[in-house]
Structure 1
Amino acid sequence: MAIDIAQSDATIAASSPVLLSEAGSLRRLPLGPELERPQSFYERFDDRAVFYDVFRDHTGRHVYLIGPMALNLEPLIDAMTIEGRPSGRTAKPKIHHGVQAEILRVTLPPGDTHLAFSFGDERFEIPIQPNRSAALKGDRVIFTINKDNALAWIADWARFYVGEHGATAAVVYDNGSTEYNLEQLRAALAGVKGLEKFLVIPWPYPFGSMHDVFEGHKFGGHWGMFAQPPKYTQFFRKYAMQARSILNVDVDELVMSPFRKSVFKAVERSPFGLLRFNRVWVLNAREEGGPPRHRQFVIRKKGIAARDRGKKWALAPGRAFFASWRAQPWTHQVKGWLNLAGSSDRFYGYHFIGISHSWYWDRTEKIVFDPKLHVRDPLMIKTFADVFGPEPKQ
């Protein structure tokens, strides 16, 4: 059975969030706060979190403060002065207002276990979490954020990457699942044959909304994101710096190669330690009944019509010298990382419409196979047969 990393260190998944006081008046405001929005928008909007985590970098010299986009709180972040405890050393952090995320780095003595700062009328003293990269040293890691995806899907996801690509570890950020508890999620990962270790990280922050009436922002209606964007940098800097390679894939995404190559080996050999590749939509069409599974979906549109606009990426963190301190892994790219190689045509990220309990849109509409428009993908059929074996009889 796969080993739960948290069994040997119960605090390894802990974070140090900075939350505005419920009793205070200071809050993050949405863009266009005067606009009328549905209540669901505000239920998904994070108005209190300044940072989601505060932790040492892998060298021990610096401390990162990682949080969601500041919006109207940006001037207060720009004015911050950090005091290390117990040293009393004060310093101005370097600040990067990233893509829907705030990335701050401050240099503090290695003996400091807490930091303090003022934010508006509030004063915070926050424990500095240790760096956890040693727990994944030498591993090939898949990581994702999850909420209520079926446990069978999560197990199949991990099983696929172990069997097809040689993944050794899986990290799942759980965004407040209610269909099962964290122990059940851990049990599903523990049962994946060949997986060596895993870690489940509670990540209970509001996810955000991709549907909004504000149109003036560069992200258009997709700007209101919170839990997901900061998670990438937090994982990269806190957990992944000693990993052999990492792959950013959601439970509804399986990476395949026409040459049946490992994406981990490919990125480890790449000149800049960064590999990007296209995604392909897999349609919600299957012949089997019962609960859906990845291997039942093998139909896509023909030709370029199958392309999803988003890309996926893998990293070799040991090549971080190609990255600035404010490098930001993000959903479909890695900003601040030198990469002159462009996108690879040796891998495709198959994106399954029928394998998701989406945060945003209904994926339950089923497609009827049309030979004029669709094709049964031979690479998927062959790969699934090798990884999963024959489809169990109903």
Structure 2
Amino acid sequence: MTITTKILIAMLIGLVIGSLLNAFALDSSFVQNYLVQGLFHVIGSAFVNALKMLVVPLVTFSLICGVCGLGDVTILGRVGLKSFALYLLTTGLAVILALTVALLIAPGQGFEHVQALSDFSPPPAPPLTEVFINIVPSNPVQAFAEGNMLQIIFFVILFAIAMLMSGEAGLQLASGAEKLNEVMMRVVTVVMDFAPIGVFFLMAKTFSEQGIGLIMPMIGYFSVVILCLLLHAFGTFSLLLMLLARLNPLIFIKKMRPAHIFAFSTASSNATIPVTLQVVEKRLGINNATASFTVPLGATINMDGTAIMQGVATVFIANVYGIDLSIADYATVVGMSILASIGTAGVPGVGLIMLAMVFNQVGLPVEGIGLILGVDRLLDMLRTAVNVTGDATVTSIVARGENEIDEAVFNDPDAGVITEIELPHKR
């Protein structure tokens, strides 16, 4: 049994047990204090921390290897521009798809729960100019300590370019970085060996707190968001893969399953970076030189899932309050979604900040966000899986353009499959 199958089974068991606890035992102080907030919370959070622990060193060493592997700053610039343009394109397509589907289905018409609105006040959005200034770290050590991915990517690329320009000293450092990167990939596989346990407790905690029944009053909004996420993941990305990368989308989706499961259970693109990197390199056959640049960048600025949520939420709240939006308003939503995906990257609560910015821009009541907060955690898990799929799709397209993908590995169903972790003392 592969590690992915074990994780999938653990996820389903956690979902069932969590939902049963929510339905029948949530009032029990023992269940609340010792299971949900005790055992489930501690082990689940520890597992997410273990994944996040890998991100900064793995991205650092992998990015250094990638830039040095390219060997030419002009190639790096070309890869960077392609990746950036493709991420903006997929975000734009995502929000246009969401608005189109939501306008056709019209969720929120005749909604009877307006009186249940909470006094929601979103965290303030940082000025766009400040965000772009802050891409350049004033203190790189602080950026590494805080895990600020945009600043880390900027500094590491600059450092790796300087290594290329430094001759023999840079070559020696690059050789050391390759060895460190290899060790970090081994650490990833060791952490993944404990993934079924971590995923079980994460799912059990989420569904024991949220419950399946929570989505019933919001079934219209919830269903439209899920429909748009599925259309984007299996429709838009499949078309892009066939047209721009000339790859079989069915093989791609099947091989992305480990990253999907991790993204769904952790609801964090950054925490999923180690698994995404391993999948695109080992399973899809993409060269580390390309993947090490495009995957961390995508995890930071690619927000297709959030853009879909924004589009559907805009139509939903407009219908709930009976506000008519014009074509210009919808065009503003598209533009704001694309801009905000770069401008608010790396900011905590980014989805709600982006949504509040959009609502303010088109004149919708920001307190309406309180309506969708209840189901947002469950949708966030699905949004993250779509975001990770987008990261891998763009990586595949860029790799095809740079001739950095091994089709024999991509087409091999067993390439890169993890069954068990081989530790050094095992024979």
Q: Which has the higher strand share?
A: 1
TM-score (norm 2): 0.27
The structure with higher relative contact order (CA 8 Å, sep 6+) is 2
TM-score (norm 1): 0.29
